Each structure stands twice: as structure tokens, then as C-alpha cells.
Amino acid sequence: MKIRNIFIFYTILVVIFGIVLWKKIDTGRGAELDMLELNTRRDQVIAELESGAERPRLEKVYRCGIAMVSDENYEAQNALWIRDGWSVFDYITEDGIVGKIAFDARAEEYQAIAREQQINVLIGCAATYVMGLLLLAVIWYFYVRPFKELRTFATQVSHGNLDMPLKMTRHNYFGVFTESFDRMREALKASAEKEAQADRSKKELVAELSHDIKTPVATIQATCEVMEMKYKEPDIAEKISVIKSKATSVEKLIDNMFRATLEDLEELKVTPLEESSLIIDEMLGELRFYGQVEKHGEVPECLIHADKLRLEQVIDNIAGNSFKYAGTPLEVDFVSDKDSLHVILSDRGPGVPEEELALITTKFYRGSEAAGKDGSGLGLYLASIFMERMGGGLEVRNREGGGFQAEIVLKKV
């Protein structure tokens, strides 16, 4: 039940109770006060007189008159009360009658008393109502409110929001209770983070293996193409064809697996270390299986920030695209400045349409010249990501005189 409904129900209950008590006090009754009530009030007056109470106060509180035998106007006062119709009682002690106690038993007196009782009922109902409201406020603050917070907390947890802490008041009755719930949230969050990290690690492993396998598969395909040109014997040519066909099938399977994994995984791990720039010579040397490489000069010797595996993938992707789409030798130039080493790879093909240059490093994008050729649209995208995470960069453009050019920028140590 909502606290608002409880408040309404409680208000109605107090109002009904007050009305019932009010009705029980009949201010319009014309009958005189009954003798039982008058005797009761007389006994109360006598008891207080004997306990030392002052006569004026008693006369005001009990709406009565008190005359003692020792008073000078005792007889006159007694006669006046009898004349006015008051009920007069003897004040008797062990010494006999010591005075008179008189009450105005007429209807007017009764109405005055009834009105006073009604006022007392109103005051009592108001006090009861206020005390009840205070009690409801205490119950709501210390008992209901914590449960409402727990309900909100449980809803957030059920929706997977484990970052919202549960406010705790240690001095509250539910302080320890809510603390236990918040510890449960922290445990669930830690468990979810571990599970997400484990899942991410598996996806990273699959993505890394998928992409790493592409390089040797591409090498097998390139070697098969060279052997097809060199060996013309039917038996050998057939075996080479089988190897090339299987390598192509493996490449397609790897592309599918890598694409599916990368859709869920936003990045691959890159760990740049201090490396000698001479590792670039080794990587360029392995490109001979793709096609002809023409180096213009030697690699400037220096220390660079690089992840060797990722840099090799970058060079393989750029070279593989040039050999696949341009079909010309690959030219390599080197430029060294104070902070970086630039490796410029160029082909002599038709280049890339200007409107597509800004898109070729985006995920899954394949240019118009890629129609009918195998590929996933991820090579240059990953190359760009890898170089950024190594602290360098990748710039692509069409070179003057024709051809496509990719410039790898490596940060020096």
C-alpha cells in the first residue's frame, strides 16, 4: 500500500472518530444534570479541598459555589442558591456539616460543560492526528523509504546497470541490510567485468590469429603463382593448382571469421617497443613473394617505436593491395627527420579515384576497382589503426604522374 493511501485512510479514520465523539456530546439537551454526575463532582471538590486546594480555583474548574459555615454570608449565600435552583450539597466531615457545595444544574450550565468537552475532543483528535502523522513519517523514513530505494536499485541491477551505488545509512535500521546489497552489486560488477574481459580476450585472440594467418596464406598464393609460371609439367601444375585453390579457400574462411569477430571487437592489441629501423629491411625482403620491390636507397638506421608484428601487417597490407590492384613493381623511398622515419610505398597503377581516397581507410570499405577481386575491406583500415597506436600514422594519396602512394610514419625513440 502506498504511503499516500495510508495517509488518506488515516485522515478519514480520525475524522470519523472525532465525529462520533462529537455526536455523543449533546449540547442541546434541556434536562438538568443528573444526580450521579453531581455527586461525583461534589466528591472531587471535597477531595481537593481536603488536600489543600484553593476555593476560587475549585469554583472556576468545577463551575460550583463553595460556602463554609465560618463565612459571614454563609446563610445568605445558601438561600440565594436555593432560590436560583442550584443543587446544594452538604460538606460533611467528622465534625459534622462544615459547609455547602452548590452546582448550577440548569440546561445552560450543562451546555457550557458540553461545549468545553467538545473543545477537548477537538484538541484530542488534533493531537492524535498530528502524533499519527509523525509516526507515519518515522515509519516512512526509516522503513518504507529504504525499501523503495532497494526497489529502484533492484530495477537498475536487473537492467544491467551495475554502476549505480546503493546509498547507505549505517545508523539506519536497514543500514547493514543495504550495505550487503551494495556489496552484492560490486561483486556482480566485478564478475561482469571479468566475464567481459575474458570474452574480449578470446575475441582478440581469434582476430589476431585470423589476421596473422592471412600473411602466410598470401605468401603461399604468391609462391604458387610464381611456380605456375616456372613449372609447366602437368603433374606439378595440377598439384600447384590444388595448393593454390585450398589456400584461397582458407583465405576466404579467415576473412569471414575475422569480419565476424571484428564486428564485435573495436580494437586489436598493439604493443609498441623500441626496435631498430633495420627490421623494415627484413619485412621488405619478404615481399619478393608478392612481386618486384624497388628500393630507392637504404633504410636510415635509428630506433623507432613499433610493434614488429603489426608493422609487418601494415607493410604486407599496403604491398598486397598494390600488387593486386596495380600489378606494377612497388617502389620504396625513405625520409628521415628529427622526430620520425617515413617509409613511402608507391605503385605505378591508375591510383584511387579522388572521391574515394578519404574512404579507403574506413572499416569494410572497398573501392570501385575492387569489384571481382577477393578482399574484406579491412587491410588499410587496420593499417591506419595500428600506426596510430604505435604513435605514428598512415597517409594515403595519389602521386603525381599516376599511381597510388601510402606513407608510413614511424615515431623515433
**Residue type (1 letter), 391:** G
Question: Can you tell me the distance from the alpha carbon of 48 to that of 45, in angstroms, rounded to the nearest whole number?
Answer: 5
Answer yes or no: are the C-beta atoms of 357 and 396 closer than 8 Å.
yes
Nearest Cα to Cα of residue 262 among 394, 395, 387, 385: 385
Which cell numbers hold the place of 76? 445568605
Answer yes or no: are the C-beta atoms of 330 and 293 closer than 8 Å.
yes
Ranges of H-type helices in 231-307: 234-264, 279-285
The neighbour count for residue 355, using CB atoms within 10 Å, is 9
For the chain, which domains are there?
188-267 (1.10.287), 270-413 (3.30.565.10)
CA dihedral 321, 323, 328, 334 (to 10 degrees): 60
Answer yes or no: are the C-beta atoms of 66 and 45 closer than 8 Å.
yes
Answer yes or no: are the C-beta atoms of 264 and 203 closer than 8 Å.
yes
Nearest Cα to Cα of residue 413 among 306, 310, 335, 309: 306
Task: Write the DSSP symbol of residue 140.
Answer: I
Question: Can you tell me the distance from the alpha carbon of 31 to that of 59, in angstroms, rounded to the nearest whole number?
Answer: 22
Answer yes or no: are the C-beta atoms of 50 and 68 closer than 8 Å.
no
Max CA separation in the chain (angstroms)? 159
3-class SS of residue 242: helix
Which cell numbers hold the place of 308? 614488429
Answer yes or no: are the C-beta atoms of 284 and 391 closer than 8 Å.
no
**Residue type (1 letter), 411:** K
Question: How many residues are there in the chain?
Answer: 413
Give φ, ψ of 89 to 5 degrees.
Answer: -120, 150
CA distances in angstroms from 189 to 46, 158, 170, 290, 363, listed in the order given:
78, 12, 23, 49, 32
In whole angstroms, what separates CA 219 from the centre of its chain? 50
Task: Write the DSSP symbol of residue 412.
Answer: B
Residue 154 pLDDT: 64
Residue 101 pLDDT: 93
Pair type for strands 96-103 and 87-93: antiparallel
Question: Can you tell me the distance from the alpha carbon of 262 to that of 260, in angstroms, rounded to the nearest whole number?
Answer: 6
Task: Write the DSSP symbol of residue 272.
Answer: -
The neighbour count for residue 218, using CB atoms within 10 Å, is 20
Question: Can you tell me the distance from the alpha carbon of 11 to that of 133, in angstroms, rounded to the nearest whole number?
Answer: 9
| pLDDT digits (tens), the chain, 413 positions | 566 667 677 778 777 777 776 666 554 444 445 677 788 889 999 999 999 899 999 998 888 899 999 898 999 999 998 888 788 999 988 888 999 999 876 655 556 666 777 677 778 777 887 887 788 777 777 666 666 666 666 666 666 666 666 565 555 555 555 666 667 767 777 777 777 777 666 666 666 666 667 777 777 877 888 888 888 888 888 888 878 877 777 777 676 666 656 555 555 678 899 999 999 998 888 787 677 889 999 999 999 999 988 898 889 888 888 888 888 899 999 999 989 999 999 999 888 888 888 888 887 676 656 555 555 667 788 888 889 999 999 999 998 888 899 999 999 98
Question: Can you tell me the distance from the alpha carbon of 293 to that of 328, in angstroms, rounded to the nearest whole number?
Answer: 9
Which cell numbers hold the place of 32? 438538568
Residue 27 pLDDT: 46
Rg (CA), the chain: 52
Residue 32 pLDDT: 46
**Residue type (1 letter), 3:** I
Which cell numbers hold the place of 336? 628521415
